[in-house]
Amino acid sequence: MDTAAAPQVQGAWRIDAERLWSRLMALARIGATPGGGVDRQALSVEEIASWHAMIDWALSAGLEPSTDAVGNLFIALPGAERDAPPVLAGSHLDSQPGGGRFDGVYGVVAALEVLTTLAERGVQPPVDIVCVAWMNEEGSRFAPGMMGSEAFAGVRSLEAVREVRDADGVAVGDALDALHAAFPALQRRPLGFPVAAYLEAHIEQGPVLEAQQCTIGVVTGIQGKKTFDIVIEGERGHAGTLAMADRRDALEAFTRIAAALYTEIGGHDDLVKFTIGRLQVEPNAPSVVPERVTMRIDLRHPDNAVLRHLGQRLAELCEALAAPCRVRVTALVDAPSNGFDASLQQSIARAAGRIGVPHMPILSAAGHDARHMAPLCPSAMIFIPCRGGVSHAEHEWAEPAHVAAGADVLLNVLLPYAAAGEGETP
């Protein structure tokens, strides 16, 4: 492994790059896929195994692990004032079914590495500094995603979260109970508490930083996102006997709707992102006219006014083009674009300068748990490049030097909160 990063700069603190990389690769073996990726979905046995590893590392450093009712994992470096609002840093441990080794987990392990480095240096911050792993950011097993941060922020109730079921009929509530049963001695925190600041390190999941040969992205905000569940209801029929004119073919209606959505919604401008990401046809038999088609739509745009317009137009197109079938459009996620704290962005840029790596402002095209923390407290994100901009794939990759640099930046941004005397005031 090449852990070479930028040259040391006077006054900058550094994490242990070798340890950080080793722990990332250790977690990559939990749920490892044949193609070199990771399948570690929310509240799975694999995620429980990743908790065991995280908690073991935390305890060995003298840190304090805890959880809450929605299955968020917290690891605290205790501060002098234990009742004061803590500073949080982290991301998520769950992955897509064929995900990569860095998405989400990098931000959690980087935060743990920062706390471990501070603990090794004997730093006691004035308030707790806490590493957090949010529950179900990905939404691959249980939809929609970001359940842990949404419940923490009061966007979604615990009761609503617990009722959601996966494709096998397993309820989030039952999976949460199994998670908590695996850690009976783990301290419980209240669901939601005041936070002084939040930072999240992450791979970019896009090609911009790599193309610009830039090590650190100072994230200015996250583009807006809407998701929809659309069900087209027709009528089942015999493929060999039912005349074409008499059919209520749900799949035929889908083709009309999908073509119009791709053309009008997906082609609205160069900034829109439109995806039909899941499709289910029933009864899905070769000689039966389909009676039901269910699709999941992901729609994103950085301009909230445009996003609202496109979401409304999407529903209108579905209604106009479904006949002779019926259609039901259900909005699942409505997350407007948000910006991040300007002072924290400046701190990230200064920290990158202190450790000697190039940085640039960048908008996040992907959604992150930081979206839900931004209304609660000063929040910001640190991006590092990923090869080819690839993410949510087994060949997702981040260079060791970039992995270390992002964690070094995170450490130096958190230093003022740790009152270690080496940072700058945010």
Which pLDDT tens digit goes with each residue over 368-377?
999 999 999 9
Measured between alpha carbons, how far is 64 from 343 in angstroms, rounded to an integer?
29
18 pLDDT above the threshold of 60: yes
Q: Are 259 and 321 in contact (CB under 8 A)?
A: no
DSSP state of 2: -
The whole-chain average pLDDT of the chain stands at: 95
Say what the pLDDT of residue 330 is: 97
CA 94 to chain centre: 9
pTM of the model: 0.87
Q: Which amino acid is at 41?
A: Q
Among 126, 103, 128, smallest CA distance to 115 is for 128
- Other Cβ atoms less than 10 A from the Cβ of 307: the count is 22
Q: What is the mean pLDDT of residues 335-352?
A: 96
Say what the pLDDT of residue 333 is: 87
β-pair partners for 333? 227
23 pLDDT above the threshold of 80: yes
Q: What is the mean pLDDT of residues 328-348?
A: 95
Q: What is the mean pLDDT of residues 138-159?
A: 96
CA 244 to chain centre: 45
316 pLDDT above the threshold of 80: yes
Strands (E), 351-426: 359-364, 379-384
Q: What is the mean pLDDT of residues 332-345?
A: 94
pLDDT band (50, 70, 90) for residue 12: confident
> Does the CA dihedral 115-121-122-123 come out positive or negative?
negative
Rg (C-alpha) for the chain, rounded Å, is: 23
